[in-house]
Structure 1
């Protein structure tokens, strides 16, 4: 059974999944005042616990309130680290695509939020604005959306399909790893980078080193798209398969994210 990190199912103890201290815990340990300002619904999620533990969590519904509270918390200590998050640029991109009025409207709104926070920075502060990924729009046609659940070639010998449409982790039944790798390369090799687990690790897809304890989480086969295409799973992932905008692969549009700096 695969663990879904967004839904956190099946349940796994967060500290067992990610045992290392967070940036906020490290900052707390040396006397830095820390806080996270985000939507209230994120406060108790396992992802928040493994990535943002430490300091105080301040839930606010509106983007404007988040910016105001973030500025207040930044000014609350001699040394402060404050994180604030707004999710709807990502949400509208997934639902409508980045070439949509809905997405552009959210981008304009976030531009205003960033300006609001920048104008409230206390002296000797730095504001960094970024995102965790880019996004690419995928047409709704059979050539661009390859349905794993309807493809007998790709599903042969596969026990579990993980990852997301642009970066699939394929877990083979015992003894079928080599055959699955060969078939995926033959069928998808012109549109995807296809690698075995060890090849992907050696190529640095998962960073300079991979801990032994997480080695088995990586698929026996990893498929990362370089063309405008995704692998959907219409039966098992109906919501994700219907997304207009997606991400997860190694292309520049998905990986190269601006980092904006404002200093007071």
Structure 2
């Protein structure tokens, strides 16, 4: 036997490519391709000129997952050749990503910094998916969306999404300024896209959440997820075949996903020492925000680093900002970030089985900076 233990180093995190090829760069690139560049620094993402664009965002379709299961998605995987993946922002979670997509801003600017985040000055969390009627989404996220800016420039902008999302806080924060078409079924979505894309210039945004839900419930290695991927692929192909030739189709995602088995889970309600000095636990299982009691940051940082050694990167707020995880951070957003942030590696997750019991029922998770979560397809047809 060798005298030295051979270990496999953890896979390097994928840092967000803000300003180059992140999800926040997609709408500015579309606007430029439509002939109406947004008033901001050009990004590294360039799309072909066209009079109309349809952007189809598939929740949970990571680039690595599409490559791994290409056999289940022959149309989408055929577009991988010659394409380069982009990245989600940090954390790699739906509310954060959809707002970056809709505003063209990083999380540190738009302020939706996770699945849940502290409402400054309170001991309460805001769930960015389900929202809270006491928090005004226009105050929480005051920046104009790319949709509104494009619309004011004369581009016909339409959002096609499930009817239940029409007036949600997340929609108001991320997609205000566009015409909203409620469409719950695939046929409705495709018909709406064909209709709206007949205008020139126009940009139509379609959103499909079913693949993400299936991954959370069954996992991305499940037969259920593969069947749903095949359905998404058929939807995308039918969309392309139905759209007029002058319309460009772009398929992107908000994040990927990893499966987290029971053996790879830390429960803070069992390992209660992890809550010492923690006033509020936010974020989600793959990316936690720890809001600390006064003077407790150093102790919390040490405890979590020792307990999760090899399973997570544990950084102070300033350390994560210095890494560029959130992009430039506005002063009003700063207290929404944890005093300590925990980004899980591998398939690990940090749970709170009593307070956030629903999360314990999920198989597929996202939020951290692994390649499976961060890399997203940017497919153009």
Shared fold (TM-score greater than 0.5)?
Answer: yes
Residue 339 of structure 2 aligns with which residue? Answer: 220
Residue 196 of structure 1 aligns with which residue? Answer: 316
1:104 aligns with 2:223: no
8 Å contact 1:24–1:34 — kept in the other structure?
A: yes
Q: Hey, what's the Cα distance between the residues in 2 that align with 1:9 and 1:82?
A: 28
If asked which structure has higher relative contact order (CA below 8 Å, sep 6+), I would say 2
1:187 aligns with 2:307: yes
Q: Hey, what's the Cα distance between the residues in 2 that align with 1:240 and 1:73?
A: 38
Q: Hey, what's the Cα distance between the residues in 1 that align with 2:270 and 2:233?
A: 42
8 Å contact 2:253–2:376 — kept in the other structure?
A: yes
Q: Hey, what's the Cα distance between the residues in 1 that align with 2:224 and 2:274?
A: 35
Choose which of 230, 235, 244 in structure 2 pairs with 1:113: 235
Choose which of 111, 128, 132 in structure 1 pairs with 2:254: 132
Q: Hey, what's the Cα distance between the residues in 1 that align with 2:137 and 2:129?
A: 12
Aligned length: 258
| 1:10 Cα offset (Å) | 6.5
Residue 243 of structure 1 aligns with which residue? Answer: 362
Runs of 4+ residues over 4 Å off in structure 1: none
8 Å contact 2:130–2:169 — kept in the other structure?
A: no
Q: Hey, what's the Cα distance between the residues in 2 that align with 1:32 and 1:123?
A: 19
Q: Hey, what's the Cα distance between the residues in 1 that align with 2:133 and 2:183?
A: 29
- Which runs of 5 or more residues in structure 1 are unaligned? none
Q: CA RMSD in A?
A: 1.1
Residue 164 of structure 2 aligns with which residue? Answer: 41
| 1:122 Cα offset (Å) | 2.1
8 Å contact 1:170–1:222 — kept in the other structure?
A: yes
1:177 aligns with 2:314: no
Residue 69 of structure 2 aligns with which residue? Answer: none
- Which runs of 5 or more residues in structure 2 are unaligned? 1-123
TM-score normalised to the size of structure 2?
0.66
Choose which of 56, 79, 88 in structure 1 pairs with 2:201: 79
1:28 aligns with 2:166: no
Residue-by-residue CA offset, 1:225-246 (whole Å, 9 max, x unaligned): 1121100111111111210000
Residue 161 of structure 1 aligns with which residue? Answer: 281
Greater mean alpha carbon deviation, residues 116-125 or residues 42-51? 116-125
8 Å contact 1:135–1:246 — kept in the other structure?
A: yes
1:7 aligns with 2:126: no
